[in-house]
């Protein structure tokens, strides 16, 4: 009888102890990156890219809890992503959508108003699918002119404020303009730059978990 009482006391303690091992406030999330060549890992090995490094860091901090889906494409524009996003949302059902786009639009001289309209469309689709949204801002090279560069950069601020989404002001911070961190074309970051890109992105993604 005494042994039975001891066992009944031990069982609740074991259950309580196992519950304490579960991290509070963190549930499994699917994070989908919708980007261009900066996130697709153009010119480097896929495992070297910041998106793959993101999965590794999440696995270290939250073992087997979060899945990263890289839906990025080299050369992707905001228009192309608008067309692709419905199927991506339906297929992967992400909890968090990271939008890293606009750079190719800007390099092609697309009107800032059109870029902003497409970014808004991407945010709206994602929010309608019940996903949290994070937008990565970009900047234009100086040779595109101050007026165009300012209008382009302002798009991200407008979208962030209008739809109340988190904004990383400049994804390439600490990388752009540093020749040792860029590939020969001086447009795409090299393998050494990927950890910097991850460190730029990670606080925003972690806070959304």
Report the catalytic residues: 37, 185, 188
Torsion of CA 187, 190, 194, 195, to 10 degrees: -120
What end-to-end distance do the CA atoms of the chain give, in Å? Answer: 48
Q: Tell me the two tokens of residue 65.
A: 């809890």
Give the integer Cα–Cα distance in Å for 144 and 149: 6
Core vs surface per residue 109-123: b (16+ CB within 10 A) or e: ebebeebbebbbebb
Give the integer Cα–Cα distance in Å for 156 and 168: 9
Query: If you search the block for the tokens 């309209």, which residue do you land on?
Result: 117
Helices (H), the chain: 2-20, 37-40, 50-61, 78-92, 103-107, 112-128, 146-163, 194-208
């Amino acid at each position: 009888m005494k042994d039975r009482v001891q066992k009944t006391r031990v069982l609740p303690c074991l259950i309580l102890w196992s519950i304490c091992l579960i991290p509070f406030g963190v549930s499994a999330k699917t994070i989908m990156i919708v980007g261009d060549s900066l996130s697709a890992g153009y010119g480097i090995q896929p495992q070297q890219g910041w998106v793959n490094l993101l999965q590794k860091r999440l696995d270290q901090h939250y073992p087997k809890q979060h899945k990263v889906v890289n839906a990025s494409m080299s050369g992707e524009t905001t228009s192309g992503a608008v067309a692709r996003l419905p199927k991506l949302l339906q297929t992967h059902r992400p909890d968090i959508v990271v939008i890293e786009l606009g750079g190719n639009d800007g390099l092609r001289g697309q009107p800032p108003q059109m870029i902003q309209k497409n970014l808004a469309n991407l945010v709206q689709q994602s929010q309608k699918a019940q996903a949290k949204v994070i937008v990565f801002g970009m900047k234009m090279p100086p040779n595109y002119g101050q007026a165009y560069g300012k209008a382009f950069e302002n798009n991200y601020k407008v979208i962030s404020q209008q739809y109340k989404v988190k904004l990383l002001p400049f994804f390439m911070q600490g990388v752009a303009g540093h020749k040792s961190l860029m590939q020969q074309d001086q447009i795409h970051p090299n393998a050494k730059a990927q950890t910097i890109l991850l460190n730029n992105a990670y606080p925003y993604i972690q806070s959304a978990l």
